[in-house]
Structure formats: C-alpha cells, structure tokens
Amino acid sequence: MSRQTRTLTIAILIADTPPEPVVALRGDYNRIYPEWLQKALKSIPRHDWQDGYELNLLKYDVVKEQKYPTDAMLADGLIDAIMVTGSASSAYLDIPWANKLAEFIKHVHDSHPLVRICGICYGHQIVARALGGEVKLNETGWELGVYECELTEEGREILCYPEEENYMRIQEVHRDIVTELPPDCINLASTQICQNQGFVKKFITPAPPLPSVAGTSAYMAFDVSDFQTDSSGPSPVRSAHVLTLQGHPEFDEEIVKALIESRSEMGIVSGTLKEEGLKRYNKPHDGIHLGAVFLIMLGLEPRRTEVDVVG
C-alpha cells in the first residue's frame, strides 16, 4: 500500500492574548500553539512506510470576535479536533463569550461526536464546565512553574508514559481548578493542591475514525482504514473523545518566566509565591511529549520497533 500524506485539521479556539512581555518575546497564541504542535509532530518517531502527516491549524478568536467553526464544517468532517487554549479569565464566570464557548463545546460533544475535544489550562476548566463538571478558585493558592503531577494508572496509559514512570512534569500557571469532573470522565494526574490535573472521556470503542477519514462527524465504531498499527493495536489515547490538561504543555521556560514576572508587576503574585515560581520554571518538563500525545490521539501512531519493515 502506497505511502500518503494525511492532513490533521485542528480548530484552535483562542481564549485570550498573553501579557505584552510574552507577546514581545514569543508572540500570541496564534504563534505559540502552532509552534508547539509542529515541534510535537516532528518528535514522533515514524516508520518509512507509515503515512506522512501535516497539520492544518485553524485559529478562532472566541473572545473579541467570537468566531467558531461552522456547523457545516463540523458535519462534513472538515475539523478533526477542537483545542481550547489557556486564558487569564475564570471558567466559572457568567460572561457572554465564556457562556458561548461552553455552549459550543457542549454542542460539538453532543452533535459531532467524532470531533475530538482538547483543553489546556482554562480550556481544561471550560471543557469541564461545559460537560457538567465544576470549576472553582483554589483557596490554597497558585501553582507556578514545573510541577510533578502524580499519574493515575489511567493517566500513565492515556498520556503514553512507560510503566515505570509515576509523574507527568508540566508547566503550571493557574489558581482555578476543576473540583468535580464531568460524568464519565477519568482523572489523569494530581498534585498536592490540585487533584484534577487532566481528564479523559473515552469512546465506547478503541479507535473510531477521524471526521476527515469518515467524511462526517457522526459516530461510527471503527476506523477500518487504520492499517498502520502493529499487532498490539492502536495506542490507548486513540480511545479519547475528550482530553484535557490543567498545566501548559505549550509553554517553555522563557514564557513561564515572563508570565511570572508580568503577574508580579501587576501585583497578582509576589513574595514567596514568586520566588517559588522562579525556582521551578526552568526545570525539565514534558511539554513536547504531551503535545505528541494530542497528535497520537488523532491517529498519528508512533513507530513501535526500531527496525523498518516493508508495509
């Protein structure tokens, strides 16, 4: 069977603009998210015989412009996934743009079930709210910089960690937390002050097709064209309908340092909290690995052996 190039189309729902120091350093989310996902794409080992992949990243300003993919685009299988970005706003606020975003997420979940739903930080929280969970201010305080999040058994499997790994290392810049998961969702990891560091909601079958493969967003059970996995079957994350992370896999140390200093200048963080963040921001983290997990979720299976075989 001949090697082809497949296109993964992700609608990035941009829920904020970073502070000016971050924009000056690295650009806004229109740049930060594509750069992160492209690096993640390049990091995934592939056999020569496996299809190539390219990313088609569509950006939508859901705050000022309140723009979204159309229902026709979703129904016709033109969007494989939506990814909701971080934001300085709070997902529990009753404000028009956030209410519209939550309604859209719920509509995609209910009416376009093959479209995968991804959320990062605020995105994690607003997805939880949209699907029936609960979000609150964490009275214990902030998490700033790289934290080791203890993986659940499900988290280790879904997030593609080896059996011997017990922690996900991820940049954190948040105080709001998901206090109650939506129905049928499974927690992936936790820290001492944040019990829900991400969650997954699974399909009832291991690897339904992408909308772009099926030509529709309506649910069907199996991707019959998926011949590119070996006898061990599809990666566990292929079963994910919804996948979120509380931390920021898209942030590197430069961005987090700039955010901490910016929030300090605004009086949001100070003293020992700032000092702790500045001790943590440049520790090793799994940002590119976790970006790859989102792409594996969309069918970009990694090579599982070191030897290329003829497909």
| pLDDT tens, residue by residue, 242-288 | 999 999 999 999 999 999 999 999 889 888 999 999 999 999 999 99
The two three-digit tokens of residue 136, written as one number: 């609150």
Q: What is the pLDDT of residue 196?
A: 99
Mean pLDDT of 118-132: 99
- The total number of structural domains in the chain stands at 1
Instruction: Tell me, yes or no, whether 269 lies in a domain.
Output: no
| 152-164 residue pLDDT tens | 999 999 999 999 9
With cut-offs at 50, 70 and 90, classify the pLDDT of residue 225.
low
With cut-offs at 50, 70 and 90, classify the pLDDT of residue 134.
very high
The two three-digit tokens of residue 157, written as one number: 């499997």
pLDDT-wise least confident of 79-93, 169-183, 222-236? 222-236
CB 177 within 8 A of CB 136: yes
pLDDT over 70 percentage in the chain: 94
CB 159 within 8 A of CB 210: no
Instruction: Tell me, yes or no, whether 57 lies in a domain.
Output: yes
Distance CA 124, CA 16 (A): 14
Q: What is the pLDDT of residue 130?
A: 99
52 beta partners: 5
pLDDT: which is higher, 229 or 45: 45
Q: What is the pLDDT of residue 77?
A: 97
Instruction: Tell me, yes or no, whether 100 lies in a domain.
Output: yes
Mean pLDDT of 146-150: 99
Mean pLDDT of 140-157: 98
Q: What is the pLDDT of residue 231?
A: 47
Q: Is the pLDDT confidence value at 103 over 70?
A: yes
pLDDT-wise least confident of 3-7, 77-81, 186-190? 3-7
Range of the domain at 222: 5-138+154-160+176-252+286-297
Instruction: Tell me, yes or no, whether 22 lies in a domain.
Output: yes
| 200-210 residue pLDDT tens | 999 999 999 99
Distance CA 196, CA 252 (A): 22
How far the first Cα of the chain sits from its last, in Å, is: 7
Instruction: Tell me, yes or no, whether 180 lies in a domain.
Output: yes
Q: What is the pLDDT of residue 51?
A: 84
Q: Domain with 209 in it: what CATH number?
A: 3.40.50.880
Instruction: Tell me, yes or no, whether 87 lies in a domain.
Output: yes
Q: Is the pLDDT confidence value at 227 over 60?
A: no
pLDDT-wise least confident of 25-39, 154-168, 224-238, 275-289? 224-238
Instruction: Tell me, yes or no, whether 165 lies in a domain.
Output: no
Distance CA 161, CA 290 (A): 10
Q: Bin 108: left if φ > 0, else alpha if -120 < ψ < 50, else beta.
A: alpha
Instruction: Tell me, yes or no, whether 96 lies in a domain.
Output: yes
The two three-digit tokens of residue 125, written as one number: 């929280």
